[in-house]
Structure 1
Amino acid sequence: MVKIGIVYFSVTDVTGALVRRACKELSKQNIPFISHQIVGSEIVDGRFVNPDLMNELAGCNAIIFASPTYMGNVSAQFKAFADATSDFWERQAWAGKIAAGITAGTGLNGDQASTLQYFATLASQHGMIWLGLDAPFSDEGKNVNRLGCQLGVTAHSLDGKVHETDLRSAEYLANRVLNTAKKLASNGY
């Protein structure tokens, strides 16, 4: 059986709502998963410290990264987590795991793609397999990807409310990650 991990940071809870929707989909599928929200107390002297989480993620077939887009990139809190993963980068301990990303911003084009590109770069550093959305902008059949970014889930919110299509996109991505992880696991990968 596959296991999915989701690591995220959220302040206004837009990113949190997207992650909860992804978790709801995984829960419906009866798949073991972990969802971890990065909190300030885990950052000590500028460094993310949570060895239990890192051990749990080591047992996952896939990891979804999620952070709001701040000033054109991931939040500082998420970056602290990412930097802490360098402790096992040299061993390529996450090589072969699936990676995907979720982000949100207040600007309609608030450089959310830069955050997803950072997630993809982080995944590449670890030898992970990046998985985006296989749904073009306004895909009538799937009704996801409202903002047209196939690299991952992007959401836009000015008031803390999350558009239903953005929530469906997070759900869709979780399902896509799960199905791909199952296919890889069934082939011994």
Structure 2
Amino acid sequence: MQVQIAIVYHSGYGHTQVLAQSVARGAEAGGADVALIQVTEITEADWAVLERADAIIFGSPTYMGAVSGPFKIFMDQSSAVWMQRGWADKLAAGFTVSGSMAGDKFATLSQLSTLAAQHGMLWVSLNQMPGNNLSTASADDLNRVGASLGVMAQANNDQGPDLVPPKADHLTAEKLGERVSRLALRFRLGQPASA
């Protein structure tokens, strides 16, 4: 049995898009069928994909301490689904990227998790120990930014998506995608989380 995961995101400069692709690789490795949906190009067919999905993973860059404007428009557009409780009991997760190491990314993930909660969705955390926080650690560690709520990636403002976010952030994103995929399958099969 294969689960369906939709990754719905906005990317202004390409950094969030390449991170979305890493989340997708992880979800596919976990056995899911994955659809990538860019919010600025969303169609009625995409809304139908979101309706059928077992899990939706939200991704937005962090601009000025919040989701991007185009992603906020998508959030507002989802109110029609909200009124019908169309995403209730689906799994949800999120990722973000900004130029600064902190960059107020927690605020963006909080917005994404609040969106999920308003829809009655079940938020999936990152479940990775923080990296790069010991003298023996490095910036190559998974979860190098030390997030718990979702993936927080960092991309230097003067480098393109072919160079940043760095490999550690991509691997962290893959792990999130795989986690959501495996939990969606357990949820679909009615297995306990400890299975």
Under a length normalisation based on structure 1, what TM-score does the superposition of the two structures give? 0.89
Cα distance in 2 for residues equivalent to 1:131 and 1:72: 22
Residue matched to 1:35? 36
Q: Secondary structure of 1:69's partner? A: strand
Q: Match for 2:166: what amino acid?
A: H
Contact 2:151 2:172 in 1 (8 A): yes
Q: Secondary structure of 2:67's partner? A: coil
User: What is the CA deviation profile of residues 18-40 of structure 1, one whole-angstrom value per residue up to 9, with x for unaligned ones?
Assistant: 1111222233445211101122x
- For 1:181, which of 170, 180, 184 is the aligned residue? 184
Please tell me whether residue 89 in structure 1 is matched to residue 82 in structure 2.
yes
User: What is the CA deviation profile of residues 107-153 of structure 1, one whole-angstrom value per residue up to 9, with x for unaligned ones?
Assistant: 1111011000000000000000001111121188xx42110111000
Cα distance in 2 for residues equivalent to 1:144 and 1:60: 27
- For 2:97, which of 95, 98, 104 is the aligned residue? 104
- What RMSD in Å do the two structures reach over aligned CA positions? 1.8
Contact 1:65 1:99 in 2 (8 A): yes
Contact 2:30 2:179 in 1 (8 A): no
Total equivalences in the alignment: 179
Q: CA deviation at 1:13?
A: 1.2
The gaps in structure 2 that reach 5 residues or longer are none
Residue matched to 2:60? 67
Please tell me whether residue 15 in structure 1 is matched to residue 16 in structure 2.
yes
- For 2:118, which of 111, 115, 125 is the aligned residue? 125
Q: CA deviation at 1:188?
A: 7.9
Contact 1:144 1:172 in 2 (8 A): no
Contact 2:15 2:155 in 1 (8 A): yes
Under a length normalisation based on structure 2, what TM-score does the superposition of the two structures give? 0.86
- For 2:72, which of 75, 79, 88 is the aligned residue? 79
Q: CA deviation at 1:11?
A: 1.8
Q: CA deviation at 1:14?
A: 1.1
